[in-house]
Structure 1
Amino acid sequence: MFENSSQMEDLLIYQIPPEWRGQAKVHTLYPPIPKHTGNIDFDIFNFEMLFNDPATKELIRSGKTIGCFYIESPGMRSLLRRLDVETFEMLTAASSVIRPGVAESGMMQEFIARHKDPSLRKYLVPEMEIYLGETYGVMIYQEDVIKVAHHIAGLSLEDADLLRRAMSGKMRSHQAMQRIVDKFFISCKEKGLTDYQSKELWRQIESFAGYSFCKAHSASFALLSYQVAFLKAHYPAEFMASVLNNGGGFYSPAVYVEESKRLGLKIELPSVNESEKEYAGKGRTIRVGLKAIKNLSYNAIEKIVVERKHNGNYVSLADFLVRTKLGCEETALLIKCGAMGCFKQTRPTLLRLLDIYIHRRKIIEESYNDLFLSETFALEEEVKTDLNYSLAGICKEEYEAFGYMVTRHPLYFFKEWIEQKGIVSAKDMLQNKGRKVKMIGWYMTSKRIKTKSGEIMKFLSLEDLTGTFEAVIFPKVYYRVAELTLSLGPYLVTGRVDTNDHTNLVVDNLKVLSSTVLQSSLMKDSVEHNYYGDEEKITEEDFALAKALDHKKLKIAYVG
């Protein structure tokens, strides 16, 4: 297959194709930026500029990468902080280290430890330093299997590649696989390796290779992640608007909206006079697009935008109705969510007028004229009221329209809890490393996993008004609180701040808070009707278990 080792090693060296330079500008990678910012004087494929940009390096190193492709998950953001990642090379390694095989084999923790403390960089076989020195003797790429199998264990390059393919699940013959395994141990013995060295090498290969990346794959992920991190660092409004237009990524749109607020961006409600179909970012502002309004049809959005472009802004509700011929239900959606705030009338006033225009005057059927316009202005004065929705009511309408709140974060309604003495915020976790604290968080997303012993534990990604944190619930605690974690929160969590990553809270206890304001106007009875953030992923098997068991046994069902 390979004539010599140098031919094989050439394939192991990943290089960014030189022809990419200068070929793809940010204009094609990210169209909204030139439209709004002007003076675009950088090339997203200028790698010398990209990999040495201080703002991008700091964003990656601090793990503030929500929205940034492959490096936005809670686990990846934690890894970036623990490794102090700021170079492309280390980001490439991190992109592979996070893969299940490396993590589950225990080599991810080993890689982190060796990265932080050079004295721990010990090699199972001395020659491994030559071939795996870049990764401190830890196999993290698929190519590392070939290197170890060929140079350390003594297999031919052809057999080493067959082993890599077998570990990736591409060899279906059990007999063929067994022949490779036998060859591996025989060759190790011939090379003078001890039984311990041979078995440990095999354990590492067997445990991770099926889920690992090749280096080129990992590098391509790292490159794109670095590029989007650059855009987030320098064009946050345009970037986050694009993430929202893309339908999100690892998280729900609600999380990206709150992340935008944490970046200091202003989120503006949709407007029939300002919004396009898509979210739009410019400067320090993101305008919610009309497509974010649930149950507003595509045809309605097209009518609103096209008519406005052809004939100018809408001057009143009557003007809007005559020109768009939009029906009562869709117009009411626009009023309730604040998209007609440009008319300077309260929402109850606009809803009263809508009823009169549609059901009494049949305004949609009449032609537009100046006389009618003056009549509508007079009518508006007659039915006008200064009464408006309460703050909770406004937030309720926003949630029902968009699936998230713009005017306030949900935790605003839990001030009586947040302002209690002794509650630690996410921004203060660093100074509380190793200490036992109480925190309050709102649900972002969650993940249940099985430990090596087969027990169930859970990671709850939470946010407060200052930042995000990860509530780590180990099996013993999860057994007690499993049922509570099906709620959307907010959660009062007690635990110890992790010394390795200060954004992790190892949970001792957890409970769900309540608020009279939210209970009366916002909260939903069912987890399926998600109030804010991602839905808890519940399988059909989970539902079947829940139906078959009584309430007392329900916790056990969810614990596994």
Structure 2
Amino acid sequence: RFRKIMSNKGGGDPNEFARRFLEAALARLEAAGEDPERAGHVAKELGRQVVSFAGYAFCKAHSASFARESFESAYWKAHYPAEFMAAVIEERGGYYSTAEYVEEARRLDLELLPPHVNAGTLRTLGFTAGAPAPDPAGDAGVPPLRAARPRGRVRIGLSFVQGVRQSALDWLADAAARRPFVTLRELVERARANGAEAPRRYELARLVRVGALDDLPVDGSPEHGTPARSVLLGALATLWQDATGAKANAEAFAPLAWPAAGDASAILRARGRLELEGLGFSPSLHPLLLSPAFRSARAGLPSARDLAARGEAVAGTESVTLGRMELLGVKVAGKRTRTEKDGRLMSFITFSDETGIFEAVLYPDDYDRLARRLRGPGPFRISGVAKAELGEVLLEVKGVAALGGGPAPAALAPPSAGR
């Protein structure tokens, strides 16, 4: 009956319940020798807390089940971060988009690897450093790990590659599990020999673009060098034509504008753009870094990590204004709501940068001015007043500008992140 009353589902009058609670509490406090004035104050405060708790409380069994799940998740994330994040990524998003869970894996100091045709599986797999587990792709025909990070690695599953038939992905996983592909030529020949289930030429091109054939030599041993994706794409068109006599589709095999071999940062951005287009996220780098304006815009501006540190520094203070700030970010989640008083629209938004996430709010007046500028995931330059309550920082947005230059497919932001 108490649960029904507190959840407004019948069972009695809430006001009558509050009166009875107050009388009983006062009687028990006074019987315990409490000062009558203090007893009245304590009883009223207890009643207020009970009524307030009813606004968001779960039943005990429901709360216990979530507490257990939270504890188990915290354990796995702390001790097996790669396996945990691989499983979360494989779920393809929740409150946040898949892209943001990929970024969380990066922040946990995990090496992120693109899908690969020699992985032998369609699933995303993770291996925490020091854990006794085999490489998901085995030792043969897999790109060597580069700049391995101390906490482990996550290889994105082939199933994330967009525009490739499920039957073709299944064939690749099964074929590689039996015998890894050694060269691009061999892959084309095996695909051609296996008919309709194997990847078609445009599907192989999509796989090249997202890095699923990275470090696979065109024809010969890996010691002769590992070609760039632009070289692989051109070679694929030639090999397909040689094998079939059919001219390659011009659009699928369009030449890639590829940076010079020595320009590592430009190559990383080129890889990131292709991955973002073909996967919906980039294992190579945060989408914010794809903007040509990022480097100059970042100078002198705080990051999400800096903002969190400012909040932690005043964690013992109930409420404090940190001042006006500008930050860079892409939108990864959001929710519109209306004010209770006059029904005006406002919005809560989560932004992400290369160091973390930060929370922001647009109150009605600012929402009316700025909501149109926040269509799509960004990237954005966001200005506002940062306020901290018990260490948690919220940016009250006062200005928004597009950073420009970075691709921002819809996959970066879940449907809830609309304006």
Structure 1 length-normalised TM: 0.54
Computing the radius of gyration from Cα coordinates, the structure with the larger value is 1
Q: Partners in 2 of 1:266 and 1:240 — Cα distance?
A: 12
SS at match of 2:305: helix
Q: Which moved more, 1:294-303 or 1:222-231?
A: 294-303
1:474-513 matches, within 5 Å, as 474-513=363-402
1:153-302 matches, within 5 Å, as 162-168=1-7, 170-171=9-10, 180=13, 184=17, 187=20, 209=54, 211-274=56-119, 276-282=121-127, 283=129, 284-302=152-170
Q: Partners in 2 of 1:188 and 1:238 — Cα distance?
A: 50
The residue aligned with 1:338 is: 211
SS at match of 2:403: coil
Contact 2:349/2:417 (8 A) holds in 1: no
Contact 1:275/1:287 (8 A) holds in 2: no
The residue aligned with 2:180 is: 313
Quote the RMSD (CA, aligned, Å). 3.3
Structure 2 length-normalised TM: 0.71
Q: Which moved more, 1:344-353 or 1:438-447?
A: 344-353
SS at match of 2:388: coil
The residue aligned with 2:277 is: 400
The residue aligned with 1:352 is: 234
Match for 1:350: what amino acid? L
Q: Partners in 2 of 1:210 and 1:487 — Cα distance?
A: 33
Q: Partners in 1 of 2:62 and 2:411 — Cα distance?
A: 38
Match for 1:499: what amino acid? A
C-alpha displacement of 1:439: 1.5
Q: Partners in 2 of 1:270 and 1:501 — Cα distance?
A: 42
Cα gap change, 1:501 to 1:402, in 2 (>3 Å): farther
1:345-384 matches, within 5 Å, as 345-362=227-244
Q: Partners in 1 of 2:326 and 2:112 — Cα distance?
A: 30
Contact 2:112/2:154 (8 A) holds in 1: yes
Q: Partners in 2 of 1:350 and 1:189 — Cα distance?
A: 77
Contact 1:489/1:512 (8 A) holds in 2: no
Q: Which moved more, 1:351-360 or 1:396-405?
A: 351-360
Which structure has more relative contact order (CA 8 Å, sep 6+)? It is: 2
Q: Partners in 1 of 2:294 and 2:55 — Cα distance?
A: 49
Cα gap change, 1:427 to 1:203, in 2 (>3 Å): closer
The residue aligned with 1:113 is: none
Cα gap change, 1:305 to 1:419, in 2 (>3 Å): same
Q: Partners in 1 of 2:275 and 2:189 — Cα distance?
A: 26
Q: Partners in 2 of 1:192 and 1:530 — Cα distance?
A: 55
Match for 1:488: what amino acid? P
Q: Partners in 1 of 2:3 and 2:257 — Cα distance?
A: 70
Match for 1:435: what amino acid? L
Match for 2:322: what amino acid? R
The residue aligned with 2:303 is: 425
| Pair 1:435-2:319 in alignment | no
Match for 1:534: what amino acid? P
C-alpha displacement of 1:182: 7.6
C-alpha displacement of 1:205: 6.1
Contact 2:126/2:155 (8 A) holds in 1: yes
The residue aligned with 1:134 is: none
The residue aligned with 1:114 is: none
Contact 1:477/1:508 (8 A) holds in 2: yes
C-alpha displacement of 1:487: 3.2
Q: Partners in 2 of 1:182 and 1:409 — Cα distance?
A: 53
The residue aligned with 2:189 is: 322
Q: Partners in 2 of 1:301 and 1:221 — Cα distance?
A: 36
C-alpha displacement of 1:352: 2.6
SS at match of 1:483: helix
Cα gap change, 1:188 to 1:219, in 2 (>3 Å): closer
C-alpha displacement of 1:165: 2.1
Q: Partners in 2 of 1:386 and 1:535 — Cα distance?
A: 31
* Structure number having the greater strand percentage: 2
C-alpha displacement of 1:322: 2.1
**CA displacement, residues 136-182 of structure 1 (integer Å, 9 cap, x when unaligned):** xxxxxxxxxxxxxxxxxxxxxxxxxx2422443554xxxxx5x5458
Q: Partners in 1 of 2:153 and 2:121 — Cα distance?
A: 14
Cα gap change, 1:184 to 1:431, in 2 (>3 Å): closer
Between the two proteins, what is the percent identity of the paired residues? Answer: 30
C-alpha displacement of 1:317: 1.6
Q: Partners in 2 of 1:514 and 1:449 — Cα distance?
A: 26
Q: Which moved more, 1:202-211 or 1:237-246?
A: 202-211
Contact 2:333/2:413 (8 A) holds in 1: yes
Q: Partners in 1 of 2:257 and 2:287 — Cα distance?
A: 23
C-alpha displacement of 1:204: 6.5
Structure 1, unaligned stretches of length 5 or more? 1-161, 172-176, 365-384, 524-528, 539-557
**CA displacement, residues 16-48 of structure 1 (integer Å, 9 cap, x when unaligned):** xxxxxxxxxxxxxxxxxxxxxxxxxxxxxxxxx
Cα gap change, 1:473 to 1:357, in 2 (>3 Å): same
The residue aligned with 2:340 is: 452
Contact 1:493/1:507 (8 A) holds in 2: no
Match for 1:254: what amino acid? A
Q: Partners in 2 of 1:473 and 1:340 — Cα distance?
A: 44
Match for 2:61: what amino acid? A
Cα gap change, 1:242 to 1:198, in 2 (>3 Å): same
Contact 1:168/1:211 (8 A) holds in 2: no
The residue aligned with 1:115 is: none
C-alpha displacement of 1:458: 1.6
Cα gap change, 1:387 to 1:532, in 2 (>3 Å): closer
Q: 1:530 aligns with which of 381, 406, 410?
A: 410
The residue aligned with 1:388 is: 258
Match for 2:310: what amino acid? Q
Q: Partners in 1 of 2:384 and 2:25 — Cα distance?
A: 50
C-alpha displacement of 1:230: 0.8
Q: Partners in 2 of 1:288 and 1:189 — Cα distance?
A: 58
Contact 1:280/1:288 (8 A) holds in 2: yes
* Structure number having the greater helix percentage: 1
Match for 1:338: what amino acid? G
Match for 2:229: what amino acid? R
